[in-house]
Amino acid sequence: MEPTYLICLPFAGAGASFFKGWQRYLAEGLSILPVQLPGREERFVEPPHTDAARAADEACSQVLQRIGPGSRVAVFGHSLGAVLAYELAHRLSGVTGLRLARLYVSGSPGPWNGRESRATGLADEEFLARIRSFAGYSHPALEDPEMRALLLPMLRADVELHESYRPQSDKPLSTPITAVHGLDDELVDMALIAQWERATTAGFNTVELDGGHMYLADDPAPLLRLIGADLATPEER
């Protein structure tokens, strides 16, 4: 029987390896499928995307090359990954025979909200300080000058992509959406999380999990238990 795939989109500065350990939290029949975008990890020599539509087009192509016809999929994204996941879900919903079970968005306002505070164009130190304030989190590699030089172009591209993002379509999905919020997230409150209800004509719910904005970096297990319970049955509840 074809497994259900959980397609994972990266947050700003992250690569596919962030999701490497997630498989162990999921039951048999559920498979993690991380998307690796250019400019990171083994693709670091490739120019990173600064346009969400192009990133979502590539993600869609990558996913369809890796799954079989008639597959059942769900899509997950956190912060920047949430808007990429939304764009990818629109593309996958138009693929004949593909069963899009649910979209999971995390740590993000609704797709029409945009970002008020910006970091694009700032000098390096101010840019990194602004990113730390956005995320409440800083990758340890950014403390190393050589690693910082390698990571900054990709991180700047991700931030530009996020800050310039506008949805390609105002048409809501006909796929259920679960919007996830870290209980102590001081960057994105529940009112912003609830904006995702407008993005679907199917079921919508919000879930709060322990932790701050980057709760999934501290402990992904509660999130994956939630997703696993949702996707454990063949039909949506």
- Full DSSP string of 178-206: EEEEETT-SSS-HHHHGGGGGGBSS-EEE
For 4-231, CATH gives 3.40.50.1820
Report pTM.
0.90
81 Cα distance to chain centroid = 2
The 8-class DSSP code of residue 71 comes to -
Average pLDDT over residues 36-56: 94
CB count in 10 Å sphere of residue 160: 19
Q: Where are the domains of the chain?
A: 4-231
pLDDT at 100: 96
Band of pLDDT at residue 136, cut at 50, 70 and 90? low
pLDDT at 138: 63
Mean pLDDT (the chain, rounded): 89
Paired sense of beta strands 99-106 and 4-9, if any: unpaired
- Rg over CA atoms, the chain: 17
Q: Catalogue the active-site residues.
A: 79, 213
Average pLDDT over residues 40-67: 94
What CA–CA distance (Å, rounded) separates 63 from 88? 10
Average pLDDT over residues 127-142: 68
**Interval 110-132: pLDDT, tens:** 998 766 667 776 777 777 777 77
**Interval 161-194: pLDDT, tens:** 888 899 988 899 999 999 999 999 988 999 999 9
The percent of residues above 90 in pLDDT, for the chain, comes to 65
pLDDT at 237: 38
Average pLDDT over residues 60-69: 93
The percent of residues above 70 in pLDDT, for the chain, comes to 89
